[in-house]
Structure 1
Amino acid sequence: MASGKLSKAVLIPLDAQNRDAAEESWISVQFNPASLKVTLANTLKDSKSGGGQSKAAQFVDKSESTLAIELVFDTSVLEAENLGETDGGQTLLHKDVRRQTQRIATEFMKPQDAESKQPKAPKRCRFQWGSFSFIGMLSSYNETLDFFSPEGVPLRATLALTFKQDNYQFDIIDLKDALSRQGRLAVDGEGVSAADANLAANRDPKQWRDTALYNGMENPRHSDQQGVVMPPSSAESGSGSGGGFSYGQSYKLGTRIPGAF
């Protein structure tokens, strides 16, 4: 794939067979993490001889994989058109950032059947970012609120998340296959238009602006990149012509020409 495209990390709920849930239930991060910390650990067990003397460790009793990440959510940067939302008859001057972080806490930290006498463990999830993939259960959730509106509404949060899995894992996934499974890799090759890419991905060709913007195409009639990737669906993002990307954001997503498209 060509460089310069922004790939967003996602948290994907899994079923009991480790199968990905439907894409509309995926949670995209607002800002990709600055780093990922993966820890692999083995618990070794000694083997003793008949004489009672201990030999060196002979086998692994248990393996464990841990992923630690920090995610930042900031609603102070929302566009003016997203402000003024009504909630219970009150006009919200700012968006409460916990409306975003609550999805992660509820989906992956809250026990299933929490009101029952024997709540079940939370759902496991897949953290996926490009070719990096990690499956685990959210074992630790720490939220820091560090920026508030004048009305006392929290606008910025940093989540320190730790995922654990009781086995060894070091997955490197094929990026092209992953995008194809998600219906995001529309065309593999150069010269395709944004509208044709939408047709190839079974999307409305009239939403060509979002596709062109997401891929940083200065000429939406002709891609000069090795493949066209479809933007997230409207459920994952804000307001645009269809896929949800504001046209004034092109400097963040590829062309770096403010106001392109």
Structure 2
Amino acid sequence: MGLTDGKLAKMMILSFATDKKGKKKGPPRPFPVMYNPERFSESISTRYQPQYEPGDSGEEQAYEHIEGKEVSFEFLFDATGASVNSIQGEAASKLGGVDAQIELFLKLTHERDEQEHQPPKLTLVWGTFIFDCRLVSADIEYMMFNPSGRPLRAKVDATFKGDRPRVLQAAMDKLFSADLTHVRVVKAGETLPLISEKVYGDPKYYLQIAEINGITNFRNINPGMELILPPIDKQSA
């Protein structure tokens, strides 16, 4: 995995709508995880087709194809306020439960498109780990509840199936360009206009950054804060 400013990069799930042929279309919808997974597992498999020879009671296995790799992660959702400087954690704490974050996670990773009638394609990004895939399964366990019965903490065991991870720097540069949504950690001394100039080449887009992150006072940002930086149409902005 990769480091960003001495910190382990926050894992991001990018959700893409698809056309009728299953190809990605439009900009991705980002879902930064609340906590980076502590570990993950990989699974690979090869499919064989049983073959029988006439007069032979034995069975031979003929190679058919290699299955796509599967990866599994355990994601923790928490609304107790323990996740400092986490967009999802702060949102869950304000809402008083993790049910909305779980619903958003499932919507972006599993819900079928109303027009194309198929689930979204996903790209998992974690440092140098880039994995194009689709969600296979998600087992959700709720562990804490407030007095009204809303879940305060949940664990999601998610399995994704796709291609091999891409670690080419060119792919990373394209993925984290100003043309796609990504998350940036605020550095000491940075302001929204300064970040806007660094990312978009012009400080005037700081208002769009503030709006998408729910910041009412653009001067009130602190080092370590995570900001979602969306693609900006500079012609209409």
TM normalised by structure 1 equals: 0.59
User: Structure 1 unaligned runs (5+)?
Assistant: 80-91, 187-191, 209-232, 254-261
Aligned with residue 164 of structure 1, among 161, 164, 171: 161
| Residue equivalent to 1:22 | 27
SS at match of 1:155: strand
Distance (Å, rounded) in 2 between the aligned partners of 1:199 and 1:7: 22
Letter matched to residue 139 of structure 1: V
Is 2:107 the partner of 1:109? Answer: no
Q: Deviations over 1:131-179 (max 9, x none)?
A: 11122221211111111123322111111111123xx524224244432
Please report how far the alpha carbon of residue 69 of structure 1 lies from its aligned counterpart in structure 2 after TM superposition.
Answer: 0.6
SS at match of 2:196: helix
Q: Where does 1:63-142 land on structure 2 (aligned, <5 Å)?
A: 63-77=67-81, 95-113=96-114, 120-142=117-139
| Residue equivalent to 1:12 | 14
Please report how far the alpha carbon of residue 57 of structure 1 lies from its aligned counterpart in structure 2 after TM superposition.
Answer: 5.8
- Larger mean CA deviation between 121-130 and 14-23 belongs to 14-23
Is this contact kept in 2: 1:184–1:201, CA < 8 A?
no
| Residue equivalent to 1:40 | 44
Q: Where does 1:190-209 land on structure 2 (aligned, <5 Å)?
A: 196=194, 198-202=196-200, 205=203
Structure 1 pair 238/160, CA: closer, same or farther in 2 (3 Å)?
farther
Structure 1 pair 60/112, CA: closer, same or farther in 2 (3 Å)?
same
Is this contact kept in 2: 1:28–1:236, CA < 8 A?
no
User: Structure 2 unaligned runs (5+)?
Assistant: 85-92, 227-237
- Larger mean CA deviation between 11-20 and 36-45 belongs to 11-20
Equivalenced residues, count: 203
**Alpha carbon RMSD of aligned pairs, Å?**
4.3
Is this contact kept in 2: 1:240–1:246, CA < 8 A?
no
Distance (Å, rounded) in 2 between the aligned partners of 1:171 and 1:139: 20
Is 2:176 the partner of 1:179? Answer: yes
Please report how far the alpha carbon of residue 32 of structure 1 lies from its aligned counterpart in structure 2 after TM superposition.
Answer: 1.1
Distance (Å, rounded) in 2 between the aligned partners of 1:183 and 1:137: 19
Q: Percent same amino acid among aligned pairs?
A: 17
| Residue equivalent to 1:148 | 145
| Residue equivalent to 1:228 | none
TM normalised by structure 2 equals: 0.64
Letter matched to residue 145 of structure 1: Y
Letter matched to residue 19 of structure 1: K
SS at match of 1:31: coil
Q: Which has the larger radius of gyration?
A: 1
Q: Deviations over 1:16-68 (max 9, x none)?
A: 46437425x21111111112212111113477789969897664434221111
Distance (Å, rounded) in 1 between the aligned partners of 2:25 and 2:126: 14
Greater fraction of residues in strand? 2
Show structure 1 runs of 4+ deviating over 6 A. Answer: 46-56, 183-186
Distance (Å, rounded) in 2 between the aligned partners of 1:241 and 1:71: 32
Is this contact kept in 2: 1:183–1:201, CA < 8 A?
no
Is this contact kept in 1: 2:71–2:159, CA < 8 A?
yes
Letter matched to residue 71 of structure 1: F
Is this contact kept in 1: 2:132–2:165, CA < 8 A?
no
SS at match of 2:44: strand
Q: Deviations over 1:61-91 (max 9, x none)?
A: 3422111111111111178xxxxxxxxxxxx
Structure 1 pair 236/55, CA: closer, same or farther in 2 (3 Å)?
farther
Distance (Å, rounded) in 2 between the aligned partners of 1:146 and 1:129: 26
